[in-house]
């Protein structure tokens, strides 16, 4: 019985809630909470017919992708360069943390002043808000290189680029991907508990 | 030996101080050496950072004076600093800062608090968690800004409106982390307590909560900075009073100096929230690895 609920729960419960919403809102006259049926109809008219999707959603996604690409490349390269030198890190940390703490929306006014109101500005704002977490995670990732391995790399006399390729990048990538150290990676996950439950 | 004698002797007699120091070193191995070394290093780091910030500002100033950065888009650093000085004596600036900060932190407290309770409860009930998961995953990615129009219409453009939005954004972030945390309990420790019939509340408090704490703290830290971002954003777009509204006003008056000084204040605020949460995090979790080692 538990197993049946376990499989069907994720489908049944949300479906029941949507059905409840549908029934409760069907006779709603409130301006702010219209009947769900009307919303579905509006959704269909707006998004599934006509070309609104291609005209509005696609350019947004494109810009987000371009901004993200710039942020990833700049963030990783600059982050690794800064992370490789402890001096550079302590010199730039304050400025970087300041930029990360700045709400992205405040980057828009100066960007408008510099780049105008076109697509370049929008991509610039996206890149400028996405780059800081990536950059700081890259710095942290480089700093997390194990000293023993680092010593070994130096003892074997690996060239600088090989050191980055084989030692720094593999350590830094998980940090960059998660946007911070995953403190909890080695802990027993929920799968263990699930298995216990289902036995 | 009486209590008073012990304290007297301990400062003078090496025979009594030495074992005591040893005892301290054994029970708190990280505290001894750390206390000696950290101030010096930290002082050096703060000195370097300060010098570097001054140099950065100097370079920007020179770039502005020589015309490398156009004056229309980038006012001189000195002008911005003078404006900051004026604003620091102005009551209105402090009111704005207080409003933004209280909107961000009240939302964090409300949303985060609810999320911790809900997350711990849901995380302990796998069937319920699995059933609600699709709903959470559907609602979570909706940006607060997207709900802004609805909130303006229903709650209004006041303190409450901003708090609703900051609460919502904090809630999802802390909830997801708490859920993960509540599920990361060591099964052996948990089953041991179940076997010994330890009362439910006791083991929730002693095993589940500590196991979830690292996740919760991480969630709260991320939610705190996001909460500030959301507060400023809704103030700017929705017109709730606060720093964001001041930015909007500066923008409409084409007051670039004011704009940059407000950006500076907001950035410092974000920095302050981040920096002030770090010691809290370290303190809450300092016991954590040793505890893990003992249990498993």
**Closest residue on chain A to B230 (Cα):** A103
Residue-level pLDDT at B106: 92
User: pLDDT for A106-136, tens place per residue?
Assistant: 888 778 877 777 888 888 888 888 888 888 8
Residue B171, pLDDT > 90, answer yes
**Closest residue on chain A to B266 (Cα):** A102
Min Cα–Cα distance to chain A from B259, Å: 8
Residue-level pLDDT at A163: 81
Between B110 and B19, the more confident residue is B110
User: pLDDT for B101-140, tens place per residue?
Assistant: 999 999 999 999 999 999 988 888 878 888 888 888 888 8
Q: How far apart are CA B219 and CA A102, in angstroms?
A: 19
> Angle, to 10 degrees, between the axis of helix A86-101 and the axis of helix B209-238?
60
Q: Closest partner residue to A109 among B211, B251, B275, by Cβ?
A: B251
Structural tokens at position A77: 């390269």
Q: Shortest CA distance to B135 belongs to which of A64, A37, A16?
A: A16
Between A155 and A46, the more confident residue is A155
- CB contact under 8 Å between A190 and B133, yes or no, is no
Q: How many helices (H) and strands (E) does chain B have?
A: 14, 0
A92 contacts in B (CB within 8 Å)? 52
Q: How far apart are CA A161 and CA A195, in angstroms?
A: 45
Residue-level pLDDT at A7: 78
Interface of A with B (CB under 8 A): 2, 5-6, 9-10, 12-14, 17, 31-32, 87, 90-95, 97-106, 109-110, 113-114, 180, 183-184, 187-190, 192-194, 196-197
Check if the beta carbon of residue B184 is closer than 8 Å to that of residue A188.
yes
Q: How far apart are CA A72 and CA A126, in angstroms?
A: 11
Least confidently predicted of A73-77, B54-58, B178-182, B278-282: B278-282
- CB contact under 8 Å between B126 and A194, yes or no, is yes
Least confidently predicted of A55-69, A159-173, B236-250: A159-173
> Angle, to 10 degrees, between the axis of helix B126-139 and the axis of helix A2-25?
40
Q: How far apart are CA A84 and CA A144, in angstroms?
A: 11
Beta carbons within 10 angstroms of residue A193's beta carbon? 18
Check if the beta carbon of residue B243 is closer than 8 Å to that of residue B97.
yes
State percent of chain B over pLDDT 70. Answer: 83
Residue-level pLDDT at A190: 35
State the average pLDDT over residues B51-76. 79
**Closest residue on chain A to B52 (Cα):** A91
Residue-level pLDDT at B9: 43
Q: How far apart are CA B36 and CA B14, in angstroms?
A: 20
B270 contacts in A (CB within 8 Å)? 98, 100-103
- DSSP 8-state assignment for residue A189: -
Q: How far apart are CA B161 and CA B153, in angstroms?
A: 9
In DSSP notation, A105-165 reads GGGHHHHHHHHTTSHHHHHHHHHHHHHHHHHHHHHHHHHTS-HHHHHHHHHTT--HHHHII
Residue-level pLDDT at B215: 84
In DSSP notation, A10-49 reads HHHHHHHHHHHHHHHHTT---SSS--HHHHHHHHIIIIIS
State the average pLDDT over residues B80-91. 84
Min Cα–Cα distance to chain B from A8, Å: 8
Residue-level pLDDT at B25: 46
Structural tokens at position B105: 């932190």
Residue-level pLDDT at A113: 77
B132 contacts in A (CB within 8 Å)? 13
**Closest residue on chain B to A12 (Cα):** B131
Q: Closest partner residue to B132 among A13, A32, A99, by Cβ?
A: A13
B183 contacts in A (CB within 8 Å)? 189-190, 193
State percent of chain B over pLDDT 90. Answer: 8
Min Cα–Cα distance to chain B from A65, Å: 17
Residue-level pLDDT at A1: 66
User: pLDDT for B178-216, tens place per residue?
Assistant: 888 888 788 888 888 888 888 878 878 888 888 888 888
Q: Closest partner residue to B130 among A6, A87, A183, by Cβ?
A: A6
**Interface-testing mutation among B44, B72, B127, with chain A (most A C-beta atoms within 10 A):** B127
- DSSP 8-state assignment for residue A102: S
- CB contact under 8 Å between B274 and A101, yes or no, is yes
Q: How far apart are CA A96 and CA A98, in angstroms?
A: 5
State the average pLDDT over residues A25-48. 79
Q: Tokens 């919502």 belong to which residue?
A: B168
Q: Tokens 């080692």 belong to which residue?
A: B293
């Amino acid at each position: 019985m538990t197993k049946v609920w376990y499989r069907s729960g994720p489908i049944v419960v949300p479906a029941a809630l949507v059905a409840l919403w549908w029934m409760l809102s069907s006779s709603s006259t409130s301006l702010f909470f219209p009947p769900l049926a009307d919303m579905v109809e509006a959704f269909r008219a707006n998004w599934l017919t006509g070309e609104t999707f291609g005209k509005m959603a696609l350019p947004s996604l494109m810009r987000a992708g371009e901004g993200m690409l710039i942020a990833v490349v700049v963030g990783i390269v600059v982050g690794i360069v800064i992370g490789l030198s402890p001096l550079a890190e302590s010199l730039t940390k304050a400025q970087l943390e300041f930029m990360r703490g700045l709400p992205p929306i405040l980057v828009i006014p100066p960007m408008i002043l510099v780049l105008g109101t076109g697509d370049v500005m929008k991509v610039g704002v996206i890149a400028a808000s996405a780059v800081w977490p990536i950059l700081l995670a890259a710095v942290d990732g480089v700093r997390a290189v194990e000293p023993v391995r680092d010593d070994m790399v130096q003892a074997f006399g690996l060239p600088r680029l090989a050191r980055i390729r084989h030692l720094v990048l593999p350590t830094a990538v998980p940090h960059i991907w998660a946007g911070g150290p995953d403190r909890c990676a080695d802990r027993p996950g929920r799968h263990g508990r699930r298995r216990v439950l289902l036995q | 030996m009486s209590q008073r004698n012990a304290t007297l002797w301990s400062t003078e007699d090496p025979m009594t101080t030495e074992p005591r120091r040893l005892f301290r070193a054994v029970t708190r191995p990280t505290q001894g050496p750390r206390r000696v070394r950290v101030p010096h290093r930290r002082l050096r780091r703060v000195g370097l950072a300060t010098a570097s910030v001054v140099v950065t500002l100097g370079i920007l100033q020179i770039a502005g004076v020589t015309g490398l950065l156009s004056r229309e888009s980038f006012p001189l650093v000195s002008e911005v600093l003078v404006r900051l000085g004026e604003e620091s004596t102005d009551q209105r600036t402090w009111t704005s800062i207080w409003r933004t900060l209280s909107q961000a932190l009240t939302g964090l407290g409300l949303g985060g608090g609810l999320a911790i309770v809900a997350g711990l409860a849901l995380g302990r009930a796998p069937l319920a968690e699995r059933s609600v998961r699709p709903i959470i995953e559907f609602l979570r990615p909706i940006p607060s800004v997207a709900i802004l129009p609805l909130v303006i219409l229903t709650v209004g453009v006041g303190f409450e409106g901003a708090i609703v939005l900051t609460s919502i954004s904090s809630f999802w972030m802390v909830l997801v982390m708490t859920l993960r945390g509540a599920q990361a309990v060591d099964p052996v420790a948990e089953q041991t307590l179940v076997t010994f019939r330890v009362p439910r509340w006791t083991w929730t408090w002693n095993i589940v909560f500590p196991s979830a704490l690292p996740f919760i703290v991480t969630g709260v830290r991320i939610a705190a900075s996001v909460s500030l971002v959301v507060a400023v954003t809704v103030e700017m777009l929705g017109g709730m009073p606060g720093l964001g509204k001041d930015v909007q006003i500066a923008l409409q008056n084409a007051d670039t100096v004011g704009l940059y000084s407000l950006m500076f204040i907001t950035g410092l605020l974000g920095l302050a929230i981040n920096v002030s949460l770090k010691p809290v995090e370290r303190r809450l979790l300092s016991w954590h690895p040793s505890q893990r080692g003992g249990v498993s």
